A and B are shown apart, each in its own frame.
Chain A
Amino acid sequence: MKKKNIFLILYLIALFVPIYWMINTSLKTDNEILKGLTFFPKDVTFKNYVEIFTSPLWRTSFLNSIIYVCLNVIISLVAAIPGAYAFSRWKFRGDHHLFFWLLTNRMAPAAVFMVPFTELYYTMHIYDTHLAVALAHCLFNIPLAIWILEGFMSGIPREIDETAFIDGYSFPHFFRKIFFPLVAPGVGVAAFFCFTFSWIELILAKALTVTNAKPVVVTLTVGIGAEGVRWGLLAAAGVLTIVPGAIVVYFVRNYMAKGFALGRV
C-alpha cells in the first residue's frame, strides 16, 4: 500500500519537473538564463509575459488556437455522438473491425497529407480559416471520440431506450432529455481528448494557415532561431499554451473522475 503511494508520488513529481522548469525559465531575465543554471529565478520578472500580452501577434494567435480547437471539439462531438450511438445500439456487418478501420485515419502521416489538404481546402475556399484546421483535425479526433463514446453508451442498458419510446418520446426528445444526460460524463471525457489532440497538433495547423487563423503553436516555432533564441519568451509562451488546457481539465476533472469510474475511456 505504502510502496504504491511512494511510486505514484515520485512519478507525479517527475512528471511535473519539466513543467516546473519551463515556469522557472519563463520568470527569469534572459541574462540570468544565459549566465548559468539556477533552480529558482533570482529576481522574478514578468517581462516575458507582459511582452506576450501586449503583442497583438501573440494575442491573436492564442485566440485563433482557441477558436479552431473549440470548433473542432464541437464538430467532432456532433459527428461522433450519433455514430457512437449507432455502434452501441445496432449490430451490423463488420462492426468488430470497423473500429480498427476508423482508427486507421489516425495513421495518416500529417507531414505528407498537408499538401493535399492545402489543395483541397484551397478549392473549397476555406484555406487559412479556423474551419479548415478544425475540419482537418477531425481526421484523428472523430475516430477517437466515437470509440470513447461507444464505450460509455454500451454501458447504458438498451431497455432505457425502449422504455422511453414506449412512453411516447420522439427520438430527438429522448436523446436530449434522457440519453444525453446519462452519457454526459463520457462526452466530457471525449471532449477532453479532442481538445487535447487538436490543441497540440502542429503540422496541419501550420500548413493550413497563413495569417488569418495562425495558431499559437506556429507563432512559437517562428520564435526559434531568428535572432538568437529568446528562451524566457518561448518558455513564457509555452507556459501560456498549457493554461487553456489546464483550465479545461480543471473544469472537467469531476466529469473525468466520474467518466473514468464508469469504465472504458
Chain B
Amino acid sequence: MARIQLKTISHTYHPPDLPEEEKAYAVSSLDISWGDGTSNALLGPSGCGKTTILNIISGLLQPTAGQVLVDDQDVTRLSPRQRRIAQVFQFPVVYDSMNVFDNLAFPLRNQGLPEQSVRKKVQEVAEILDLQDYLTNPPAKLNAAEKQKISLGRGIVREDTAAVLLDEPLTVIDPKLKGSMRRKLRQVQRDLQKTMIYVTHDQHEALTFADDVTIVKDGRLVQKGSPEELHSEPASPFIGYFIGSPGMNILGCSLKGEELRFQDFSLGLSPEFLSRIRGTGPDLQLGIRPEFIRVSPEPGENTVPFEVAVIENTGAYWVVTYVKESLRIKARVPESMRVQEGQKHYLAFPEDRVNLFQNEQRVI
C-alpha cells in the first residue's frame, strides 16, 4: 500500500515540436496527493482530463512535465508493472481464452509465483469478490458486473499492489446491479485498506465511494476534500452547482451598505455576518443549497416573495422551482406542505447556510 503524489503534472497530446502557444493541455500543473490506504474519487465532467490523469498515474501515459511519486519514490519513468499500480477499465477487460481462475492467477503467474501460493491467493480473492462459484467458468458467459469483479480481482490479487485505479467502472453495468457493485467496491476497499482512486463523472458514485474527493475541471484541480466539505464549503460556484442534486442556487448580487442587493430585492445582513465579509469587493455571488432555503406561505422577517413555477416529486419531498422576474431558484419543500403552481411563497435564506463567492472563489 502506498501514497500517491502528483507533482506539477502537465500533459498535452500535441507533438512536442508544435509551438508552445498552439498546444492545448489536457491537464496542467496538477499537485495532488492521495494518502496511503484511502478511498478516493476523482470527479469531474466528461472531457475534464480524468482519464489522462489516471493513465499518467498508472504509467500508460508519460506526462509532458512533472513527476509521479509512489511512497516518495519517483516512478515517472517506470512501466505500469514496476509501479505496482492496477487499473480497472471502463469496459470489462477479461482474458476470454482463460477461465476465471486463470484470469485471477494471471498477474501472479507472470510474477513467477509458485503454483501453490497462486492457488491460495486466488481462492482468497475469489472469496472476497464472491467469485468462488465461477472459478472454472469461461468469463465470456458472465455478466458485466462479474467481469468487472474479475478485473478488480486481478488488481488486488497481487500482494504488492500499491494502488488500484478504477476508471468509471460501473459504466456498462446493469442499473439493477450498480448499487450492490458500488457497495462491494467500497467494502473491498475498507477490508483490504488498499489505496484506491475511483474516477467518475457521477457525483453520487464518487460521494458514496470515497472519503476524499478530488474535483477536476478543464485539466485543473478545483477542490479536494471530504464529501461533507465539498457540500458545505464548495471552493467555487461550479462545485456548489456540480455537487448535490439539485445543485446549489447561485445568485448574482452586490453589497450595498448593510444589504445584499439582488436584481429586484435585497436581503438585510446581521452585523456579525457583515464583519465576516468585511473587505470583499461589492460584486458577489450568493450560493444556497435547495435544502437550506426556508419556505413559508406567510411573509416573515427578511423574506422574499417568489412564485411557484415547477413542482417535481422525488418521493420524499418536493423540489420546487420558484421564479421572480428572471430569477429561478430551486428549493426543497416538505411533502406536508401544500404546493400549487402559481402560488406565492416567502423564501428565507438563513445566514449560517449561505455561501458567498467572489471571482469564482469562496469568501464564506
Direct A–B touching, Cβ under 8 Å: no
Q: Enumerate chain B interface residues (CB-CB to A < 8 A).
A: none
